[in-house]
Amino acid sequence: MKRIFTVLIIVMLSVLNVQSQTKKFLFDATKYQTAANADWVIDENLSGSTYVTPRYPTPLQSTITSTTAETYWTGALSSWGIALVKLGHQVESLPVGTAITYGNASNPQDLSNYNVFIVDEPNSPFTATEKTAMLNFVYNGGGLFMISDHNNADRNGDGWDALAVWNNFMRTNSVGNLPFGFKFDSLSFSETSNNVLSAWSSNPILNGPQGAVNQVMWSAGTSMTIYPAINPNVKGLVWRTGVAQGSTSLLCISSTYGTGRVVAFGDSSPADDGSGSPGHTLYNGWLVDAGGNHARLHLNASLWLAKLTGVSGIEENNTPVKFSLEQNFPNPFNPTTNIKYSISKSSDVSVKVFDIDGKEVAELVNEFQVNGSYSVNFNAAKYNLASGVYYAVLNASGNKETIKMLLTK
Ligand SMILES: [Ca+2]
Ligand SMILES: [Ca+2]
């Protein structure tokens, strides 16, 4: 009995520990998120005659209590930001002119400092460097929230709408076509849909800590098409009214890439809380449209992206993990790269790096690990390695796998 008690206490403590984890959410404001009637930021302050989005919303989030109103901050996403703070998390904005980087120690807002990057309706394309940064961020465990809008919603008049920006990111990049296994459709429609995933109750986004989601309302938005053959982890969450729950006409999807997670919605109206800077025409999609479902949907998705839910390893599908060693990413590399592997049985595991002569040059892992998927970082600079070919070898419970890696300095 005493032993059962001890186990129970340990289980309860670990549950509390998960719930009290503080995660950091970064809201992008570098891509004209306040052009025309858009106001897709958590806060803006008047500077001279224009509103600008600061890195840290004001008043400071440390002064927010359980009764703080969403109008404490200025922005149509203030409800979203303040709700995350009330759940114990930290939020920041990425102000206009700040670089989107990953692994750049001189950028205080480098994506590696955050758990989730939320980009609501980007209205100008990402540069090649920014695309690589975002892909590396997700691949290495980050969460990316991608929100689009209907076609021709080019708010700053540069010829790019959000769906074109997102499709350009997913199609023209350093890792290949549609790495998350979906694209946005070029459409514009409004509808209310109750066509949520039939297995919604076991899905951490449709039935998460913030409650159940059974309806969405699109106010001039678009849909998505998914390609499970490209990425088998892409998953439909909500479809348009009247369509079969297949690969087309999706309103909300989730996916994974590397060790990170992705959520995409086809409309920016559901996150709009109806209040922002003066002169913007806004509507309360957050709480009023679809009767509160949108707030629950965005918050559940935020918590899932931050890995506060769905962390059991079996997650939404019950596919057992196979013993495997994936090609390192990036490759060629200089000086760091990531190596992802999976072990089917709990056992002693080693990952070692050898040079072309078979000499061991680095030991990356040497410990007992439970079955599951892992990612390990290899920094060649730490071992003073010269340019050339190296081999990473995974050893676990009598199984062995080798990959070839190219260091180019
Ligand atoms: Ca634009
Ligand atoms: Ca607001």
- Alpha-carbon distance of 228 to 18, in angstroms, equals 31
- Per the listing, tokens 């039935």 go with 207
Tell me how far the alpha carbon of residue 82 lies from the centroid of ligand 2, in angstroms. 9
Residue 321, pLDDT score: 67
Q: Quick one: which of 178, 177, 195, 182 has its CA closest to 247?
A: 182
Instruction: Return the CATH superfamily for domain 324-407.
Output: Macroglobulin (MG2) domain (2.60.40.1930)
Q: How remote is the CA of residue 337 from the centroid of ligand 1, in Å?
A: 34
Q: What ligand has the least distance to the C-alpha of 287?
A: 2
**Could you identify the residue written with the tokens 């459409």?**
187
Q: Determine if residue 286 is left, alpha or beta; phi over 0 gives left, psi from -120 to 50 gives alpha, anything else beta.
A: alpha
At 320 the pLDDT is 53
pLDDT at residue 246 in the model? 98
> How far does residue 64's CA lie from ligand 1's centre (Å)?
34
CB-based burial label for 286 (10 Å; 0-12, 13-18, 19+): buried
CA 215 centroid distance within chain: 22
Sorted by where each begins, the domain ranges of the chain are 21-305, 324-407
Q: Which ligand is nearest to the CA of 286?
A: 2
Query: How would you write the pLDDT of the chain (409 residues) with one tens digit per residue?
Result: 455 555 454 444 444 444 458 999 999 999 999 999 999 999 999 999 999 999 999 999 999 999 999 999 999 999 999 999 999 999 999 999 999 999 999 999 999 999 999 999 999 999 999 999 999 999 999 999 999 999 999 999 999 999 999 999 999 999 989 999 999 999 999 999 999 999 999 999 999 999 999 999 999 999 999 999 999 999 999 999 999 999 999 999 999 999 999 999 999 999 999 999 999 999 999 999 999 999 999 999 999 999 999 985 434 433 456 788 988 998 999 999 989 888 877 778 899 999 989 999 999 988 776 667 778 889 999 899 999 999 999 998 888 899 999 999 8
List Cβ<8 Å contacts ≥24 apart for 45-53: 45/74, 51/277, 52/95, 52/96, 53/29, 53/93, 53/95, 53/96
392: tokens are 């990473």
Question: Tell me, what's the pLDDT at 11?
Answer: 47
Pairwise CA distance, residues 54 & 119, whole Å: 16
Q: Ligand 1 centre from 282 Cα, in Å?
A: 19
286 alpha carbon – ligand 2 mean position (Å): 10
Instruction: Give the pLDDT confidence score for residue 222 in this predicted structure.
Output: 98
Q: What is the pLDDT of residue 367?
A: 76
Q: Residue for token digits 């072990």? A: 343
The pLDDT value given to residue 348? 81
The widest CA-to-CA distance across the chain, in whole angstroms, is: 69
Predicted local distance difference test score (pLDDT) of residue 340: 87
How remote is the CA of residue 121 from the centroid of ligand 2, in Å?
A: 16
CA 317 – ligand 2 centroid, Å: 37
Q: Among all ligands shown, which has an atom nearest to the Cα of 79?
A: 2
CATH for 21-305, options being 3.90.1640.10, 3.40.50.880, 3.40.50.300, 3.30.565.10: 3.40.50.880
- Give the integer Cα–Cα distance in Å for 92 and 223: 29
Tokens of 10: 């340990």
Enter the tokens of residue 345: 């049985």
Return the pLDDT at 1.
46
* DSSP string over 257-310: ETTEEEEEES-SGGG-BS--STT----BTTTTGGGGHHHHHHHHHHHHHTTSSS
What pLDDT does residue 205 have? Answer: 98
34 Cα: distance to centroid of ligand 1 (angstroms): 11
pTM for the whole structure: 0.75
pLDDT of residue 15: 46
What pLDDT score was predicted for residue 38?
A: 97
Q: In a 10 Å sphere around its CB, with 0-12 CB exposed, 13-18 middle and 19+ buried, how is residue 250 labelled?
A: buried
